[in-house]
Amino acid sequence: MPDGRPSIPAVLRRSVLEEAGYSCAIPTCRAMTTEIAHIEPYAKVRDHTFDNLIALCPNCHTRYDVRKDIPKASIVAYKRNLAVLNGRYSDLERRLLEEGAGYPPGQWIPIHIGVRILIRNLIADGLLTEVDDFIYKITGNDLGGIKTTEFYQFTEKGREFMERWRDAEPLID
Ligand SMILES: [Zn+2]
């Protein structure tokens, strides 16, 4: 490093990248990345700590650090929201929340019954709900009477949750 600062220890690097799934922590970006940014500049804190580090892609890192067009308050909020998401939701649930933000209201999401256990907290929290059995029975999605796929959709509450994440608002009041 040009300013003589120590590099980020490998274990810490990995934890920070894992926290964001090796993707940019900005919900509307989510580009794959292995780059890490300091929330408070290193020059100020002179330390590497988990709470002050966040995975950002090279573009967003430049927008934050150099061009200053992403406010620090937003980055702090994204970091805090990652902790909420990781503490509560599975990898599949987080991917659904990322993808779902771009879905039109009422979009059906097929889920194989074998992975239903991985979405149970989204359902328990009322963010995702199964499409009414009757509606998809009459569309002929039951092949030979053996149901292997269920259809889900985000609830109004789920859509609000995704909007709060995107807008860097607290996910939990
Ligand atoms: Zn990015």
Q: What is the CATH number of the domain that holds 147?
A: 1.10.10
Last residue of a domain, one of 41, 73, 88: 88
| Residue 171 forms part of a structural domain | no
Q: What is the pLDDT of residues 120-143, one digit of tens each?
A: 999 999 999 999 876 666 555 555
Q: Of 2, 36, 41, whose CA–CA distance to 20 is shortest? A: 36
Per-residue pLDDT at 101: 86
| Residue 34 forms part of a structural domain | yes
Per-residue pLDDT at 107: 94
Per-residue pLDDT at 98: 87
Contact 130, 37 (CB under 8 A): no
Q: Which domain holds residue 132?
A: 91-166
Q: Phi and psi of 108, rounded to 5°?
A: -80, 135
Q: Ligand 1 centre and the CA of 28: distance in Å?
A: 8
| Residue 1 forms part of a structural domain | no
Q: For the chain, how far is it from start to end, CA to CA, in angstroms? A: 40
Per-residue pLDDT at 90: 92
**Burial (Cβ within 10 Å: 0-12, 13-18, ≥19) of residue 162:** buried
Q: Ligand 1 centre and the CA of 100: distance in Å?
A: 18
Per-residue pLDDT at 4: 75
Computed over every residue of the chain, the mean pLDDT equals 90
Question: Which of the four pLDDT bands, split at 50, 70 and 90, describes residue 156?
Answer: very high
Q: Ligand 1 centre and the CA of 109: distance in Å?
A: 26
Q: Of 171, 83, 80, 78, whose CA–CA distance to 125 is shortest? A: 171
Q: Ligand 1 centre and the CA of 24: distance in Å?
A: 5
Q: Ligand 1 centre and the CA of 43: distance in Å?
A: 22
DSSP 25: S
| Residue 4 forms part of a structural domain | no
Q: Ligand 1 centre and the CA of 167: distance in Å?
A: 15
Q: Ligand 1 centre and the CA of 15: distance in Å?
A: 18
